[in-house]
Amino acid sequence: MMYVLATTNAGEVLKVPMFVEHFMEYQGSLSEFVMEHYDNHKQDSDWDTDQKLPFINPPIVLTVHAQLPELTFEIKKPKEITVSKKNSIYKEKDFSNHYLSQIFQPPRLS
């Protein structure tokens, strides 16, 4: 736990009480407080107190730079496949309809 707090930004959470205390002294809304202290804050009379706020100066101990490779892909149009319909010798009219009442029937063309 000590290692995590010392080497990551998780330790900044321990500074939240300082944030609350400093906000209570501030005359204005929460959004004004955040904009004033976290958006290009200029040095003023309470600069030392401002530097103790969480995430003002986060520790840069572990910096990981990862760059994903550029992925490109191309979807090619599928080739058209034509299937020729062959004439069959089989014709349903050549058979009697007696087979319709039985389980086993000859194949049919659809």
Cα 18 from Cα 52, distance rounded (Å): 7
* Per-residue pLDDT band at 22 (split at 50, 70, 90): confident
% of residues, the chain, pLDDT over 70: 67
Give pLDDT, residue 92.
Answer: 57
Please give the average per-residue pLDDT across 29-41, as a whole number: 84
Query: At which residue do the structure tokens 């707090």 appear?
Result: 5
Give pLDDT, residue 64.
Answer: 65
- Whether residue 12 has pLDDT greater than 70: yes
Whether the Cβ atoms of residue 51 and residue 22 lie closer than 8 Å to each other: no
